[in-house]
Amino acid sequence: MSKAAKPVSEGAARRPRRFWINVLFVALILLAALGLWLVRSHKPGLYAHVDFGMGVTEDLPLSEDGDYLYEVGAYVVHLQVKDGAIAFMDSQCPDGVCEDFGWLNEEGQWACCMPAGVFVTIETESA
């Protein structure tokens, strides 16, 4: 003798489907949040455009850490790229004002060492 299956109520049959719809909805929200975070946290390819005057320039990517020493006339200028920013670390010029500019890490920022004639501007790589 077998027992007859009990009829399943309509509400109980919908619970599993409703659960998976909710899981899918939460997953889509998390995926959208992750995408938004990735887009907002990605800075475009920034670089420091270093101008030494008389047409002599060098572009330094801010994505690569490094120390750069330049002999410019009677001065030695030390630029450092670190953690996506650049700064004058040491300049043998008389006033040292260039070191007070601090770290540059946004497009349009600039710093200069007037006695040495070194100008640094932050620019974005064009696509």
If pLDDT is split at 50, 70 and 90, which confidence band does 4 have?
A: low
Q: Give exposure, 44-80, as e/b (b: 16+ Cβ within 10 Å).
A: eebbbebbbeeeeeeebebeeeeeeebebeebebebb
Identify the H or E element spanning 59: strand 56-61
At 16 the pLDDT is 79
At 122 the pLDDT is 96
CA–CA distance, 81 with 60 (Å, rounded to integer): 8
pTM: 0.65
CA dihedral 58, 62, 64, 69 (to 10 degrees): 40
Q: Domain ranges for the chain, please list them.
A: 10-42, 46-124
HSE of 124, CA atoms in CB hemisphere, 13 A: 8
Q: What is the pLDDT of residues 16-58, one digit of tens each?
A: 788 888 899 999 999 998 888 776 655 568 999 999 998 999 9
15 φ, ψ (degrees, to nearest 5) = -60, -50
At 37 the pLDDT is 76
Distances from the Cα of 37 to the Cα of 24, 42, 45, 50, 91, angstroms = 20, 8, 17, 32, 39
Q: What is the pLDDT of residues 72-119, one digit of tens each?
A: 988 999 999 999 999 999 888 888 898 999 999 999 999 999 999 999
CA–CA distance, 90 with 60 (Å, rounded to integer): 17
Q: Say whether domain 46-124 belongs to CATH 2.60.320.10.
A: yes
Q: Are strands 66-72 and 46-53 parallel, antiparallel or unpaired?
A: unpaired
